[in-house]
Chains A and B, each alone.
Chain A
Amino acid sequence: QKEVEQNSGPLSVPEGAIASLNCTYSDRGSQSFFWYRQYSGKSPELIMSIYSNGDKEDGRFTAQLNKASQYVSLLIRDSQPSDSATYLCAVKGWAGTALIFGKGTTLSVSS
């Protein structure tokens, strides 16, 4: 059974701080890794994708991947109250396999 694990939170950070979200996965054959943001009552929206070991930066967001440790993380710099949402980690294996999601981490940014 392929699993994606996330700390459910809530993770609370003050406005302007760095929020760090973590994710581990069980399938060593996983090839692609994604972070989604989901506001309450809405569908998930893609924030970042990462495919190789190391860091990938996009604006205030940085995704980090360590395949040896089977670990993915998302850093949000200068956190804003509008970043308050549930963040979903998703992992995909080889072509033809489905995207598997973790249960999400709820982030709360206080002003």
Chain B
Amino acid sequence: SQTIHQWPATLVQPVGSPLSLECTVEGTSNPNLYWYRQAAGRGLQLLFYSVGIGQISSEVPQNLSASRPQDRQFILSSKKLLLSDSGFYLCAWSVSGDTEAFFGQGTRLTVV
């Protein structure tokens, strides 16, 4: 069966520090991968999605970037965090096409 791993579960980082969140999927090949952010009391905001290795689409201009170095690995990064980057970061995957997406457990990031 397919599983998605996302870590860490919680993270407290100072303003201006770098960020690296990793997500890996097991049990499937060539998944569509997504990064979403959910700010407190807000909806899910799509940040990046990828349909294959090296193929990244950015939905919202910001100081975040994403990379997909391997088929089932998706990384969210920032060189310098802002207070506004605080939120609940969720990685998700789907088989492809029109199918549903499944979420990891999420990373709760607090920038202080």
Chain A residues in contact with chain B, CB under 8 A? 31-32, 34, 42-46, 49, 51, 88, 90, 92, 94-96, 98-104
Within the assembled complex, what's the spacing in Å between the Cα atoms of A94 and B99? 10
Within the assembled complex, what's the spacing in Å between the Cα atoms of A74 and B51? 29
- Kindly specify which of B62-70, B73-81, B101-109 makes contact with the partner chain: B101-109
Chain A residues contacting B101 (CB-CB under 8 Å) are 34, 46, 90, 99
Chain A residues contacting B106 (CB-CB under 8 Å) are 42-43
Please, which residue of chain B has its CB at the minimum distance from the CB of A32? B98
Chain B residues contacting A94 (CB-CB under 8 Å) are 98
B interface size (C-beta, 8 A): 24
B105–A88 CB distance below 8 A? no
B98–A103 CB distance below 8 A? no
Cross-chain pairs A/B with CB under 8 angstroms, 30 sampled: A31-B98, A34-B100, A42-B105, A42-B106, A43-B90, A43-B103, A43-B104, A44-B44, A45-B103, A46-B100, A46-B101, A49-B99, A88-B43, A92-B98, A95-B96, A95-B98, A96-B51, A98-B34, A98-B46, A98-B59, A99-B34, A99-B46, A99-B92, A99-B94, A100-B46, A101-B36, A101-B43, A101-B44, A102-B43, A104-B43
- Give, as a whole number of angstroms, the nearest-CB distance from A4 to chain B: 9
Interface string of B25-64 (1 = CB under 8 A from A): 0000000001010000011101001010000010100000
- Give, as a whole number of angstroms, the nearest-CB distance from B37 to chain A: 11
Q: Identify the 6 closest CB pairs spanning chains A and B, nearest first.
A: A103-B43, A32-B98, A101-B44, A95-B97, A43-B103, A98-B49
Chain B residues contacting A96 (CB-CB under 8 Å) are 51
Within the assembled complex, what's the spacing in Å between the Cα atoms of A45 and B4? 13
- 15 new A-B pairs (CB below 8 Å) besides A32-B98, A102-B43? A32-B100, A43-B103, A43-B105, A46-B102, A49-B100, A95-B96, A98-B49, A98-B57, A99-B46, A99-B92, A99-B94, A100-B46, A101-B36, A103-B42, A103-B43
